[in-house]
Amino acid sequence: MRHSCAHLLAQAVTELYPGAKPTIGPAIENGFYYDFAMEPIGDEDLKTIEKKMQQLARQNLPVSREEYSDEELLDLFKTNEYKLEIINDKLEDGDASTIYRQGDWYDLCLGPHVPSTAKLMHSRLLSVSTAYWRGDQDRESLVRIYGTVFPDKHMLKEHLQRMDEAKKRDHRKLGKDLQLFHISEKVGQGLILWTPRGSIVRQELQDFIAQELKRQGYSQVFTPHIGKLDLFRTSGHFPYYQESQYPPLVERDLMKKLADEGCTCSELSNLMNEGDIDGYLLKPMNCPHHTQIYASQPRSYRDLPLRLAEFGTVYRWEQSGEISGMTRVRGFTQDDAHLFVTEEQIAEEVLGCIELVQIIFGTLGMDDYRVRVGMRDLDSNKYVGSDEGWDLAEEACRQAAISLGVPFIEEEGEAAFYGPKVDFIVRDVIGREWQLGTVQVDYNLPERFDLTYQGSDGVAHRPVMIHRAPFGSMERFVGVLIEHFAGKFPTWLTPTQAHIITISEKQTEYASKIESELKTAGIRVESDASDNTIGKKIRTHRKMQPAYMLILGEEEESNGTVSIRARSGAQQNGVPLADFIAAIQNEIEQKTVAPSIVSE
């Protein structure tokens, strides 16, 4: 049905814009799109097209399937080079093809389709954008129109409402409303400024994972934000990934000397690429630094696994058009760790990493994720390392994913250039997928840095590295988390856990007494003793989504109690302060996903 509606869209467009050439128009989740080779159109044009589609739908044109010979097909589409390309590709593969016809319009298609256009009355065009023909940046730019269609009016309306609801939990909007982070044009694109409230969320998450790491025998390390170019030449990141790095920093004296010699920018760049001069790179990842910690001492098999963990901030030059909120940024902090292990330890250690991801996702109630095992693309040569190493590493990842006990898919070509990986992927409110946690096996870097350990046989062996980041990056993770909770964080994560609201200024003193007792108990609290009405104060404070509001009036003051108001509006009056403190401390300690002190 969605695909049929794409046909209807193409019919409408070709009737309205005679020069437009339809290319492809598949169904996608919740809708469809169709790409046209035509002059760019705007949002207003969508309405016109939409009207035309309704008109065509109302005509109740029967949709029929027709078969033609190859020559006839080529003749039918002779004015549309895109369709010809498709037909020729199909002929090469030996596939037959059919066309579907409605009215005097027809399209190359395998079907199936709805019997008549009357089934397509309830559609809506959503947006117009562009795409490259066959997804190739070097080929023609096409106009892509997105739309959706439902069997009846009611379902269409519901779907559109759902989309509106989803937009309300967009982390970019909530991040602003809840004052969690800020992006300043003056600082730069894709560079996140963590404001005090957002920093609390991040710090709580970091503390949480640090605790788990201690339990699993990790060692905490710290490394600087830059490193010599040579370090990254050895790792293989420079100059081959230059496109996605900030340009290198060159020492002042050297710069001056080169300038005096009349060196041009391109000469400088060449000198750096060839290794004739050195400089420093903002680190695009933490692994090279960690290899040097490993190499700082002779290692024995008894030292392994050596697990080095760091919340390491890295910088990558993402394309300007790809930067988005907190989920795609240019500077971010990975909850990174590198495990140096023997080959026999790979399976167990990969499993340990994956369990860590599961603990985190479980604690936060995130169950809507998928697992992807990224394998190499056998046809590509962008990978480094031996085939045997890759085979072993891929098998280790596969086995770890299997023992995970959740469905996973293997995808060719999704591996890192240095090794296969297991990724945890979640969706944001708009349906886009983001890679969060990742575990990657790497035979390559130990080789490049010539890392060794002495085995029980007294001979030097090569360790294997495992890269892993259960959150992925703090920025992306918190961004996704904001949407996951729609800003209503669990008590342990929420920036302000209790907001104190007084009914009149008579309770100001009582409020500050309660406030200081809560603070002493380690509760993050905010107090409002302004002279606004109680209704107004509740309205205002609700917006910041504290786990609880404590309402204080004459009654509470004389009894030494608090009245607790939950986010839902549910309330419990006259609770002794000590009881509330005990309850909220327990909730924080347990990391309860949904605040539940007040029963509904």
Partner RNA sequence: GCCUGUGUAGCAUAGCUGGUAGUGCGGCGGAUUUGUAAUCCGCAGGCCGAGGGUUCGAGUCCCUCCGCAGGCUCCA
**Which residues form the interface with RNA (CB under 7 A)?**
40, 42-43, 127-132, 135-137, 141, 144, 172, 176, 183, 185, 189-190, 237, 241, 244-245, 284-285, 316-325, 328, 416-418, 430-432, 440, 503-506, 531-536, 538-540, 542, 551, 553-556, 563, 565, 569, 571, 573
Nearer to RNA, 215 or 539 (CB): 539
Q: Of 101, 290, 316, 330, which residue is the catalytic one? A: 316
Q: Of 11, 334, 345, 497, which residue is the catalytic one? A: 334
Pairing of strands 548-552, 464-469: unpaired
Nearer to RNA, 418 or 449 (CB): 418
Any catalytic annotation for residue 316? yes
User: Considering the complex, what minimum distance in angstroms separates the CB of residue 382 from RNA?
Assistant: 8
Place of tokens 């989920």: 327
- The residues, ordered by sequence, that sit 6+ positions from 39 with a Cβ below 8 Å of its Cβ are 17, 19, 143
Look up residue 299 and give its amino acid: R
CA-CA distance, 294 to 448, in Å (whole number)? 13
User: Considering the complex, what minimum distance in angstroms separates the CB of residue 558 from RNA?
Assistant: 8
Any catalytic annotation for residue 336? yes
Q: Of 467, 468, 476, 565, which residue is the catalytic one? A: 467
CA-CA distance, 9 to 202, in Å (whole number)? 46
Q: Of 335, 336, 423, 442, which residue is the catalytic one? A: 336
Helices (H), 364-500: 387-404, 444-448, 474-485
Residue 309's nearest CA partner among 218, 436, 211 is: 218
User: Considering the complex, what minimum distance in angstroms separates the CB of residue 467 from RNA?
Assistant: 8
CA-CA distance, 120 to 111, in Å (whole number)? 16
Q: Of 421, 524, 541, 565, which residue is the catalytic one? A: 421
| 22 cis-preceded (ω within 30 degrees of 0) | no
* Number of residues in the chain: 600
Any catalytic annotation for residue 421? yes
Phi and psi for 340 in degrees, rounded to 5?
Answer: -100, 115
Nearer to RNA, 56 or 178 (CB): 178
Q: Of 5, 109, 287, 353, which residue is the catalytic one? A: 287
Q: Which residues pair with 337 in a beta bridge?
A: 309, 468
User: Considering the complex, what minimum distance in angstroms separates the CB of residue 370 from RNA?
Assistant: 15
User: Considering the complex, what minimum distance in angstroms separates the CB of residue 553 from RNA?
Assistant: 2
CA-CA distance, 499 to 549, in Å (whole number)? 5
User: Considering the complex, what minimum distance in angstroms separates the CB of residue 11 from RNA?
Assistant: 21
Helix (H, G, I), strand (E, B) or coil at 394: helix
User: Considering the complex, what minimum distance in angstroms separates the CB of residue 297 from RNA?
Assistant: 26
Tokens of 485: 């909770």
Contact (Cβ atoms closer than 8 angstroms) between residue 125 and residue 89: no
Q: Of 2, 83, 144, 338, which residue is the catalytic one? A: 338
Rounded to the nearest 10 degrees, the angle between the axes of helix 508-520 and helix 577-590 is 40
Nearer to RNA, 43 or 457 (CB): 43
Nearer to RNA, 319 or 456 (CB): 319
CA-CA distance, 471 to 333, in Å (whole number)? 10
Nearer to RNA, 42 or 405 (CB): 42
Any catalytic annotation for residue 287? yes
Residue 440's nearest CA partner among 480, 408, 461, 470 is: 470
User: Considering the complex, what minimum distance in angstroms separates the CB of residue 568 from RNA?
Assistant: 8
SS3 content of the chain, % helix, strand, coil (to 5): 40, 25, 35
Any catalytic annotation for residue 353? no
Nearer to RNA, 16 or 538 (CB): 538
Pairing of strands 498-502, 548-552: parallel
Nearer to RNA, 136 or 367 (CB): 136
Active-site residues, by number, are: 287, 316, 334, 336, 338, 421, 467
